[in-house]
A = this chain, B = another copy of it.
Amino acid sequence: MKPVRKSVVGLTLLAPVAAFAKSDKPNIVFFLVDDMGWVDSSVAYGEEVYPNNLRFNTPNMARLAEAGVMLTNAYACPVSTPTRTSLMTGMNAAHTHITNWTARERDTPSDASGGDIEPGSVPEKETDILRRPDWNINGMSPVPDVEHTQYAKPFPQLLKDAGYFTIHVGKAHWAAAGTPGASPYNMGFVVNVAGNVAGKPRSYLSEDNYGNTKELWDMVAVQNMTEYYGTGVHLTEALTREALKTLEYPVQHDEPFFLYMAHHAVHTPIQPDKRFIQKYLDAGMDEGQARYASMIEGVDKSLGDLLDFLEKRDLVDNTIVIFMTDNGGNSENKQKGGILHTQNKPLREGKASVYEGGIRVPLIFRWPGHVAPGTRVNTPVIAEDLYPTILEMAGVRNAEIPQTLDGQSLVKLVTKGSQLAAKAAKKGEIASQAEATRLVTPVEVSGIDPERMLVFHYPHQWKPYSLIDIDYMTAVRKGEWKLVYRMLTGELELYNLSEDIGEQNNLAAKYPEKVKELATALSDQLRSWKASMPTVRRTETPVPMPDEMLN
């Protein structure tokens, strides 16, 4: 395939670093989409346009990308809560021991397989081979000594302490009901709209009161939306309107704000955004695909509305906008239409998998005067990096926190790194998909070692049935190499992502030394974090670490 030259979109000359007009603290908008895959956009989040990109229409994501820097090797966790708690703690999910989504009710593991059958009893089903690990099933907590939680100071609290007007809109999903982490008001947010323990809405439709009807209701029905019931407004639009309202106070008072705009979309249920669906049906998509595409465009419209607001209020120059999604696209849900396990192509698998389809996410920073617009940087980065990044952007230094950070600030990467990328692109030094992991930004410039180890740990069974490329897996990326470990079988797989982004060619047999290097490093890291591991039911011993499989 001929390399498509897409690595630099709408490159313009780097604007000089501007002095902030009103305040030395920039406003920050963190725009987080749920379950939106890496190729679920008309703008390519990597180096290349894939067929899947053609199914979507996201002009505002493109608008943001053209004005900012895109991190083409950005990662999250395989599922929602771990990513969200990594964002809020600055810690890797294997370190927080929040490796799966939190159930609504306290003390309730969300693992699909049990853990409650008699120890030592013979497993009857394949899904009974392993017993779920002991993990922080209640999520994170901003106060200590809450059972089965990771105690940490969330960065919004530090922003608030530093004078920021912090706003939460949409999905929180950091913790179970009955624990402090359930409420954004405990996590450092001044204002909350809708955030609680819900991991998804029961309905996006105002006709269903967003799940607040006798028939639909359960604890994840969306709260704070009463005014829209029956009005025909899709949840994505309703949350956007609420977000715009909450910005009035800090803007009026010239106070720096942090907006955490966390859409429920495009998580299931896949329900149409009526404003946009017709063109996708007309284009010949099946109903599910069209619904999904309309939800994506709804999110894009939301992003556009926020960008418009910043322009109208003359806030663009002093507002950092960060766009991200919480994990890969769901490839295991028929509501989305199309063929299961293919929707994230060229990436392998989807949500809940440690293959690229489950963990690779869009990540864009717009920061006028600091970031070279229209650039791409391909150093691998991960969700927990956002914690120190956002704090550094906000000028919060030396904060006292109880947790040990794993993430590293990306500020130099997105500023100096983007400037370097802009120069490199001008000189034609980045020219192909194959160079996506060539890592143009050295650690001396960016502060981020392109060869650092990124860990993805999912010691769980996701669904009540076995999913071979999803359940009980852990992985590590280091530079262009990725090692995948299957806990159920003990297999180790090795991929070279710069040549094989789809993880189709297992090179383990070809490069045993690389396997050994990565398995050792990954195991050491997991051991140092005391990472949760499942138990083998037959032997009542923990699943072996990857390096135990080397001989």
Interface residues of A (CB under 8 A from B): 105-106, 160, 163, 165, 177-183, 185-186, 190-193, 196-197, 206, 209, 212, 214, 217-219, 223-224, 226-231, 242, 245-246, 249, 253, 255
Contact = CB atoms under 8 A, between A and B. Distances in A.
B227 A224 contact: no
Contact of A226 (B163, B182, B217, B246): B182
Nearest to A164: B249
Given A180-B227, A183-B226, A253-B255, 10 more contacts: A105-B229, A160-B249, A177-B227, A182-B226, A182-B227, A183-B227, A191-B191, A196-B226, A197-B226, A214-B217
Contacts of A226: 177-178, 182-183, 196-197, 219
A416 to B, nearest CB: 34
16 contacts: A106-B230, A177-B209, A178-B226, A178-B230, A182-B226, A182-B229, A183-B224, A183-B226, A183-B227, A185-B224, A185-B242, A185-B246, A190-B191, A191-B191, A196-B224, A219-B226
Contacts of A196: 224, 226
A139 to B, nearest CB: 11
A222 to B, nearest CB: 9
Q: Which 8 A-B pairs have the closest CB atoms?
A: A223-B223, A182-B227, A177-B229, A196-B226, A183-B227, A182-B226, A178-B230, A190-B249
A210 to B, nearest CB: 11
A136 B483 CA distance: 66
A186 B223 contact: no
A164 to B, nearest CB: 10
B182 A193 contact: no
Nearest to A218: B214
Contacts of A185: 193, 224, 242, 245-246
Contacts of A163: 253
A192 B253 contact: no
Contacts of A218: 214
A227 B192 contact: no
Output the residue of A180, A185, A228, A245 with the most chain B CB within 10 A: A185
Contacts of A231: 178
A178 B229 contact: yes
A182 B223 CA distance: 12
A186 B227 contact: yes
Contacts of A181: 227
A196 B224 CA distance: 7
